Structure 1
Amino acid sequence: MLATLERIELLENAEDLAKMVLKSDIAEQYQICLYKMHTNKETQRKINRFASLKELYEEVQRFGKYHPDYKRVMMQIREAKREMDLDPLVADFKLAENDLQTLLDEISKFIGGAVSEHIKVPSGNPFFETGHSCGTGGSCGCS
């Protein structure tokens, strides 16, 4: 039997956990910041300018420093990125995004640790790194 009661219960618990995450203050703050960022015309202008310059940047990257517009495009893309990143709504969104990612990383680590301490949990957060360089969890003795 493919769908055992245990599997169904696990799926229901996973759905409940997902609902709790979606109803959390962190996810709510993320949604608010995302909405503000998408509805502000000036912020969207900065994002769109960066996106259009990014396409030009990718074209220039094919030829590298030998492209005739290399210096101009590199300068413009840096300026546009800085302008976009310094926008308060973009900055607030990135902070909210990092907070939500941290919550999801913590949940993943908790679930993985409940199964085994040797479970690898994908995370970009160095807080969750074990200090082992080979990825075996230290079983090889390389730590």
Structure 2
Amino acid sequence: MDYGALTGLLDDLLKALEESVLAEEYRRAKALLRADAEARRLIEDFVAAKEQYETAARYGRYHPDYGRLRRDVYAKKVRMELHPTVARFRAAEEALDDLLHEIARLIAESVSPAVKAPGRERFFFTAGEALAGAGGGCGGGGACSCR
């Protein structure tokens, strides 16, 4: 198949993705998130708390406010994620992300099992590893026989 035919197929795939139910739900959830003042305030509060925590985290438990800041950022994160508009956006975002990762895995696998495909956690796996998980194991070098 020549390059022109491939780009034509890619255009068809992109159009199908753009018109998909998942993409429409993502756009709808994103618009709702932008319009929801309370959700935006919760996000801004979380980001500010996270920045304060990251500053203190450089010193770890030796920072006088480390524990308080850690609890504060966790509480604000939970409050933010439980907000219905934020939860809807996150669910739509993850569903679309899962679809895109699955497409990337299928494309990589169609070329060769050795071709790297982006994984869910931004690591790269070969198509075979993506099917079997991340390669498994506890990282102990096989001492526990978990592989």
Superposition TM-score tier, normalisation by shorter sequence = 0.7 to 0.9
Q: Which has the higher contact order (CA 8 A, sep 6+)?
A: 1
Q: What is the root-mean-square deviation in Å for CA atoms of aligned residues?
A: 2.3
Task: Tell me how far 1:8 sits from its aligned partner.
Answer: 2.3
Partners in 2 of 1:114 and 1:70 — Cα distance? 49
Q: What's the TM-score once normalised by structure 1's chain length?
A: 0.80
One-letter amino acid matched to 2:29: C
| Structure 2 residues not aligned, in runs of 5+ | 122-129, 137-146
**Shift in CA distance, 87/132, structure 1 to aligned 2, threshold 3 Å:** closer
Pick aligned residue for 1:111 from 107, 112, 127? 107
- The size of the alignment, in residue pairs, is 130
Query: In the alignment, what sits opposite 1:40?
Result: 36
Pick aligned residue for 1:82 from 68, 75, 78? 78
| Structure 1 residues not aligned, in runs of 5+ | 135-142
Query: In the alignment, what sits opposite 2:94?
Result: 98
Deviations 1:79-121, CA, capped at 9 Å, x for gaps:
1011001111111111111111121122122222322344332
Task: Tell me how far 1:52 sits from its aligned partner.
Answer: 0.7
Partners in 2 of 1:92 and 1:122 — Cα distance? 25
Query: In the alignment, what sits opposite 2:140?
Result: none
Task: Tell me how far 1:49 sits from its aligned partner.
Answer: 0.2
The structure with the greater share of residues assigned to strand is: 2
What secondary structure sits across from 1:129 in the alignment?
Answer: helix
Query: In the alignment, what sits opposite 2:132?
Result: 130
